[in-house]
Structures are given as C-alpha cells and as structure tokens.
C-alpha cells in the first residue's frame, strides 16, 4: 500500500503511542528511534540498567513490524553470534561465506545492548553495517536492509577507539530512572504494560515513503540559522565534528518530513541538540541555544521536542493532544480531575494573552466540560 507523507507520518505516530503505553517517561526515546529510522541514522541510548531501554526498542520494533535482531554483547561474544556462522558447505568448497539467516545483516531494526563490550572484530564489522549498510566477511558481500540500529550502554567509553565507534551513532540520548513524583504512574503503567501485547500500527512501507522524501527537503531557509547555532555552541566550548555538523542536517530534514512539510523551518532545528555526543554538552546547549529552541515544536514528536527545548511552545502539541483525548470522553470517571490538572498546566505555561489559538479553544472546552460535570453533580 502506498501512503502520502502525512498518512505515513500519522501511522508512525500511532506506532509510537502503541509502543509507549505504560512506559512512563520514555516517549522521547521512542520518538528519537522513529526520527532515526526516518533520517536513516542510528541512536545511542546511555543510561543505568533497568531504565526500560530494551523494552522501548523492542516495543517500537513490534509496532513497526519487519525483521528485528536483538543481542546483549559481552567481552567473549563471538562475531558468529551477531553476524552468523561460517557456511560449512561453502567452506568445503574453499569459500569462506557466512550464513546470515536470522542474524544482524538481515535485520531491519536492530538493538545491541552493552554495545561497547563487543570485540574489535565485531565493532570493525559493525562499522560497515552502520555506515554503509554493507556486510563484508570473507567472500560474503551483502546489502543490509537496516533502517535503524539502537545501541545501549551504561556510560560513554573513555577509550579513544571506542569513542570513535560511538561517534557513528549520530543521535545520542541520556536516560535516568523515573523521578519520585512519577513513581505511582510508573507502578500503574508497569503493571499494565506487563499484560499488554503490542499490536502493529505501521508498516515499514511507511518508513519508505518518508525515507524517500528526506533528501528532497529544502534546507536553504534554515542553513543560516543552523550555522549560527553551531557558532554559538563553539563559543560555549561545545564542540561538534564537521561530520556531525553536516549529518545533523539529515535529522532536521527527517523532522521536517515527519511534520508533513518539504521546506525546513526554524522550528525544525531542535534535533541538533541530540547530535551533541555528551550529556554535559546537551545540557549546556539548552542554555546557549535557548532563543533558538524557544521556536521548537512538532505536530507528531511531542515528547522529544519538549525534552529538548523545555520551554512553553514545545509543550503545545502535547497539551492539545491531551485535551482532545479528554474531550472525546467528557463523562469519564476521572474527567474532572484530569481536566483540572491539564488546565493548571496550561495556565502555568501561558498567560491569557499569550495562549496559542488552538490551545485557547481546547481550554475553553475543558472549562465548559468541568462546569457541566459540576452542574450535574449539584443537580444530583
């Protein structure tokens, strides 16, 4: 089936929503994975054990469909465990070929946990798979269908060789345990998620539509803003390699396509933050790029934009979506409490004269809905 860009993007949004239901505070990780798949760039997730890194990746893969490969690397992991064993029949004929059936070279979505524990032989072969989508080993030469590879680790490596390998993951995201105020949500969501089966909400053909659109994005309108942002980062001693600077455009173009547009805008420049490879660098960039990030917004990638900018405008899309979900079920048991909480958040972020039009309409509808609930209660 052929989808339009808007239809494909909407299906991916449904896949994100399906995959992250019950996973508290991990929506931005799923959205970055989708951005990476659309931009055809890879994602490195850094965080302590037990922070749902593998759960998010696994569930996004289930929601998208396609061949999925997952492996936990160790210091004694053999290359054959990742890429497949030598084909013995071919070996008898004097040819060293690899049987890749069900292994990484055939995967469309891959997750490599503890990725920096891989041996030199594994990492060197991985470089070809990640950079060129080519698997080369002995006489075997295979074009890999890989859309996105997610690597995970507890921390960034200090070894220069491993740091160079980490640089091949353009997107870097750092996750922490769920904070104290959200523990009740974590418990409830985890209890629910353990009993939930993730249903496919999109096909990889949706990604194909968006992948083809990315190179066609007009970047000329934002190139000056992007260059100015890089200069600001350099002045703050936050360094990006020339390669990462150039490839960051791929992420901006991916965000543009997911927004249903073919011309990049200033509001699409927020992915630059995730091209910065260190946590300290990302934290510093939020401050020195504060003016640029004030414009950040996205109709589909709500959580990751909000996490990047941490400013009112970036919250609009999420607040609108939350309001629409409540207004579709105004007689729900928890409507009043949820609506009042949402109204408090809206009012805390926006003065009355600064409220965006779309959000102002929802706010008025929520106020009316709460009034109806209170009126019904008083009549009863």
Q: Is residue 299 situated within a structural domain? A: yes
Q: Is residue 202 situated within a structural domain? A: no
* pLDDT at position 15: 84
Shared-domain flag, residues 363 and 254 = no
What confidence tens digit (pLDDT) does each residue in 40-84 have? Answer: 999 999 999 888 888 889 888 888 888 999 999 999 999 999 998
Check which CATH number belongs to the domain holding 9 and give it: 3.40.50.300
Task: Look up residue 240 and give its two tokens.
Answer: 């990006």
* pLDDT at position 203: 78
Q: Is residue 206 situated within a structural domain? A: no
Shared-domain flag, residues 93 and 140 = yes
Percentage of residues in the chain having pLDDT higher than 70: 93
Q: Is residue 200 situated within a structural domain? A: no
Shared-domain flag, residues 92 and 16 = yes
Q: Is residue 226 situated within a structural domain? A: yes
Q: Is residue 248 situated within a structural domain? A: yes
In angstroms, the CA 70 to CA 55 distance is 11
Q: Is 346 helix (H, G, I), strand (E, B) or coil?
A: helix
Q: How far is CA 319 from CA 19, 230, 235, 306, in A?
A: 20, 31, 35, 11
Number of domains in the chain: 3
Of 144, 159, 193, at which residue does a domain stop?
Answer: 193
Place of tokens 């970047």: 219
In angstroms, the CA 298 to CA 284 distance is 22
Shared-domain flag, residues 20 and 118 = yes
In angstroms, the CA 369 to CA 220 distance is 45
What confidence tens digit (pLDDT) does each residue in 238-247 have? Answer: 989 999 999 9
- H helices within 236-301, ranges in order? 242-258, 279-288, 290-293
Shared-domain flag, residues 28 and 116 = yes
Q: Is residue 209 situated within a structural domain? A: no
Shared-domain flag, residues 46 and 150 = yes
What confidence tens digit (pLDDT) does each residue in 324-356 have? Answer: 988 887 777 788 888 888 999 999 999 888 898
* pLDDT at position 181: 74
Place of tokens 């904070």: 179
Model confidence band, residue 91 (pLDDT cutoffs 50, 70, 90): low
Q: Is residue 165 situated within a structural domain? A: yes
What confidence tens digit (pLDDT) does each residue in 144-198 have? Answer: 999 999 999 999 988 888 888 898 899 999 998 877 777 777 677 666 666 567 7
**Mean pLDDT on 19-28:** 81
Shared-domain flag, residues 110 and 147 = yes
Shared-domain flag, residues 126 and 171 = yes
Over its C-alpha atoms, the chain yields an Rg (Å, rounded) of 23
What confidence tens digit (pLDDT) does each residue in 213-228 have? Answer: 999 999 999 999 999 9
| DSSP symbols for 280-294 | HHHHHHHHHTHHHHT
Question: Are the CB atoms for 146 and 40 separated by under 8 Å?
Answer: no
Shared-domain flag, residues 338 and 301 = no
Shared-domain flag, residues 13 and 123 = yes
Percentage of residues in the chain having pLDDT higher than 90: 54
Model confidence band, residue 94 (pLDDT cutoffs 50, 70, 90): low
- How big, in percent rounded to 5, are the helix, strand and coil portions of the chain? 60, 10, 30
**Mean pLDDT on 32-44:** 95
Shared-domain flag, residues 229 and 338 = no
Of 158, 193, 228, at which residue does a domain stop?
Answer: 193
Shared-domain flag, residues 133 and 274 = no
* pLDDT at position 143: 94
Of 159, 193, 227, at which residue does a domain stop?
Answer: 193
Domain span including residue 330: 316-379
């Amino acid at each position: 089936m052929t989808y339009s860009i808007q239809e494909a993007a909407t299906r991916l949004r449904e896949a994100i929503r399906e995959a992250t239901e019950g996973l508290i505070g991990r929506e931005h990780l799923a959205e970055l994975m989708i951005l990476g798949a659309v931009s055809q760039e890879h994602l490195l997730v850094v965080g302590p054990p037990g922070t749902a890194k593998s759960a998010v990746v696994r569930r996004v893969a289930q929601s998208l469909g396609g061949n999925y490969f997952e492996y936990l690397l160790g210091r004694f992991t053999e290359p054959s465990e990742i890429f497949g064993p030598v084909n013995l029949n071919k070996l008898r004929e004097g040819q060293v070929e690899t049987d890749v059936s069900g292994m990484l070279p055939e995967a469309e979505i891959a997750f490599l946990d503890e990725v920096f524990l891989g041996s030199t032989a594994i990492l060197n072969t991985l470089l070809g798979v990640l950079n060129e989508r080519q698997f080369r080993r002995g006489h075997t030469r295979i074009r890999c269908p890989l859309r996105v590879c997610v690597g995970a680790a507890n921390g960034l490596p200090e070894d220069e060789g491993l740091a160079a390998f980490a640089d091949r993951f353009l997107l870097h995201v750092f996750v922490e345990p769920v904070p104290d105020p959200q523990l009740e949500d974590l418990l409830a969501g985890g209890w629910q998620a353990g009993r939930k089966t993730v249903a496919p909400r999109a096909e990889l053909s949706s990604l194909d539509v968006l992948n083809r659109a990315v190179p066609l994005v007009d970047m000329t309108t934002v190139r000056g803003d992007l260059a100015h942002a890089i200069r600001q980062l350099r002045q703050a001693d936050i360094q990006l390699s020339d390669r990462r600077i150039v490839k960051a455009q791929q992420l901006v173009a991916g965000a543009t396509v997911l927004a249903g547009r073919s011309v990049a805008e200033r509001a699409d420049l927020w992915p630059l933050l995730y091209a910065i490879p260190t946590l300290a660098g990302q934290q510093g960039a939020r401050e020195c790029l504060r003016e640029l990030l004030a414009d950040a917004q996205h109709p589909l990638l709500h959580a990751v934009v909000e996490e990047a900018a941490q400013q009112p405008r970036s919250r609009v899309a999420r607040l609108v979506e939350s309001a629409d979900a409540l207004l579709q079920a105004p007689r729900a048991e928890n409507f009043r409490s949820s609506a009042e909480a949402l109204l408090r958040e809206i009012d805390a972020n926006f003065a009355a004269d600064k409220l965006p039009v779309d959000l102002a309409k929802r706010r008025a509808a929520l106020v009316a809905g709460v009034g109806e609930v209170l009126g019904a209660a008083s009549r009863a």
